[in-house]
Amino acid sequence: MVDMRQSFFELVLNAMMRMIAGKRYYGETDADSEEAKRFREIQVETFTLSNTPNLGDFIPIMKWIGPKRTEKRLTELHMKRDGFMQNLIEEHRKTLAIDDSSETQGRKKNMIEVLLSLQKTEPEYYKDEMIRALMLVLLLAGTDSSVNTMEWALSLLLNHPKALQKAQAEIDNIMGQNRLINESYLAHLPYIRGIISETLRMYPPGPLLMPHESSQDCTVGGYWVPGGTMLFVNLWAMQNDPKTWVDPGEFKPERFGSCEGMRDGFRFMPFGTGRRGCPGEGLAMSIVGLALGSLIQCFEWEKIGEEMVDMKERSGLNFTKDQPLYAKCRLRPSMVKVISEI
């Protein structure tokens, strides 16, 4: 029996930190260093506080007369997180200064190294503060949303075993049984893409998208919106509207036979759209597709009991399962040889 939420969480954070700093902080060989422990503590506190409401944000007078425990904790967390990231920057700065002409030549650089290289030519723009901000954006916006999507997708598949079998058959037909799925083959797996799209339709990571602000007075759909108004788009309602979708409460990956065509008329836009659309869409779809596809290809999956997986969500601005997903898995006999060669 596996705690899938924790496994997805560790997977995505490792992928992000490999891109950002060339490091892993989770796994049997990576978990014992003091740096890894500090990183994990900061991440747990970050996601805990992100789901903690601050009364002063909703009742302005509370900023002046109420307790400020949440703001104090956020300030302390910000200082710890900034210090950790600055240490990574200094570490890479020293490494680049020593090996710039030898070891770093001919290999792919991580994000910090790329930005430090740009800092040499444009120091007024690529300041350390900017580098820390970009690192923070990737860790905050690119982790929890992908984790939630994978957890919801596998939960839906466990409750719909025929869809899981169909996904396995598609992968077997395309990949055979002598090689593992890789990113280049995701475009040739339409049913897998349909599963991900249907999950994003039913459980969008940001059900209200990111908040926008009207730049000037305007009228939208007959409603007058003053300039400076904070606006939310109820994406969940749009993607679950029975006037637009047939049986919106049913899990039907087949409805996304043409994923791109479903965006016509703004019916399906889990990453937003236009200039304010999520810039990490491509990365998210690759990570989620490759992780979910690998789990479907390599393992047989079962619920931990006879009951259906609980699909209740936790209240908040993102769609998180109320109860973390636990599932039973075993290696598929046809994949034993391939897995043993990794």
DSSP string, 132-195: HHHHHHHHHHSSHHHHHHHHHHHHHHHH-HHHHHHHHHHHHHHHTTSS---GGGGGG-HHHHHH
pLDDT for residue 101: 54
Helix (H) or strand (E) holding 313: strand 313-314
pLDDT value of position 259: 47
Per-residue pLDDT at 72: 85
- Kindly state the tokens that stand for 153: 């997708």
- What local confidence, expressed as pLDDT, does residue 106 receive? 61
Q: What are phi and psi of 69, to 5 degrees?
A: -60, -45
Residue 156 CB contacts under 8 Å (≥ 6 apart), including other chains: 163, 195, 198, 199, 202, 251, 311
Q: Where is the binding site for heme, in residues?
A: 278
Residue 261's pLDDT is what?
Answer: 44
Q: How far is CA 142 from the centre of its chain?
A: 4
Q: What is the pLDDT of residue 166?
A: 97
CB 294 within 8 A of CB 7: no
Neighbours of 152 (CB within 10 A): 25
Per-position DSSP letters for 196-226, written without gaps between them? HHHHHHHS-SSTT-S-EE-SS-EEETTEEE-
Q: What's residue 158's pLDDT? A: 98
Domain ranges of the chain: 14-141, 144-208+237-340
Residues of the chain with pLDDT under 50: 259-261
**Which pair of tokens denotes residue 325?**
């997903």
For 17-60, the pLDDT digits (tens) are 999 999 999 987 666 688 999 999 998 898 888 777 777 777 77
Single-letter code of the amino acid located at 120: K
- The CATH fold assigned to 144-208+237-340 is Cytochrome p450 (1.10.630)
User: H/E element holding 86?
Assistant: helix 69-99
Predicted model pTM: 0.89
Binding site feature residues = 278
- The total number of residues shown for the chain amounts to 342
Q: Which residues of 68-96 are buried (b: 16+ CB within 10 A; e: fewer)?
A: eebeeebeebeeebbebbeebbeebeebb
Which residues contact residue 268 at a Cβ distance below 8 angstroms, ignoring those fewer than 6 apart?
197, 200, 201, 239, 262
What are phi and psi for residue 94, nearest 5 degrees?
A: -65, -40
Distance CA 4, CA 86 (A): 32
* Strands 313-314 vs 320-321: parallel, antiparallel or unpaired: antiparallel
pLDDT for residue 4: 97
